[in-house]
């Protein structure tokens, strides 16, 4: 291999490194934008109720329902329940890979929804 070939090979390697850096910087900019959008979305979401509120029952007295049980009580699909949980409209705790929803939270959500629906139709 001649010196010219070696120089050309080195120049190609440097060009490749510059291209890799440009791709990395572009990906980093995309990730920063995504993080900013997610942060803005999290701020816009309604706050989940905090535990330890005044008047909240002791944990051993709370009855927890599975997503399927909540769906049955509310007469909706399980996917709808998952959306309510993920959007922060229905409080839930994670147990392993599944969610458990306090029974009183389901009844409270239905009561609030009924009241809001009654106000909008009146």
- Domain assignment present for residue 51? The answer is no
User: 66-92 pLDDT, tens per residue?
Assistant: 999 999 999 999 999 999 999 999 999
Which CATH number does the domain housing residue 70 bear?
1.10.10
Q: Are residues 113 and 63 in the same domain?
A: yes
- Residue 74, judged by CB atoms within 10 A of its CB (0-12, 13-18, 19+), counts as middle
- Number of other residues whose CB lies within 10 A of the CB of residue 93: 14
For 14, the token pair is: 């440097």
pLDDT exceeds 80 at position 51: no
Q: Are residues 65 and 117 in the same domain?
A: yes
pLDDT exceeds 80 at position 47: no
- Domain assignment present for residue 2? The answer is yes
Q: Are residues 73 and 107 in the same domain?
A: yes
Q: Are residues 70 and 108 in the same domain?
A: yes
pLDDT at 52: 47
- Domain assignment present for residue 54? The answer is no
Residue 68 belongs to what domain range?
59-121
Domain count, the chain: 2
Segment 98-118 mean pLDDT:
90
């Amino acid at each position: 291999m001649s010196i010219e070939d070696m120089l050309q090979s080195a120049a190609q390697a440097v060009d490749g490194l510059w291209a890799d850096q440009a791709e990395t910087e572009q990906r980093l900019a995309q990730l920063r934008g995504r993080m900013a959008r997610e942060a803005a979305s999290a701020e816009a979401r309604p706050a989940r109720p905090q535990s330890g509120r005044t008047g909240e029952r002791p944990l051993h007295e709370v009855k927890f329902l599975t997503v399927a049980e909540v769906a049955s009580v509310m007469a909706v699909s399980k996917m709808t329940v998952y959306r309510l949980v993920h959007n922060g409209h229905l409080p839930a705790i994670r147990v392993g890979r599944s969610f458990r929803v306090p029974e009183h939270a389901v009844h409270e959500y239905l009561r609030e929804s009924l009241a809001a629906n009654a106000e909008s139709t009146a």
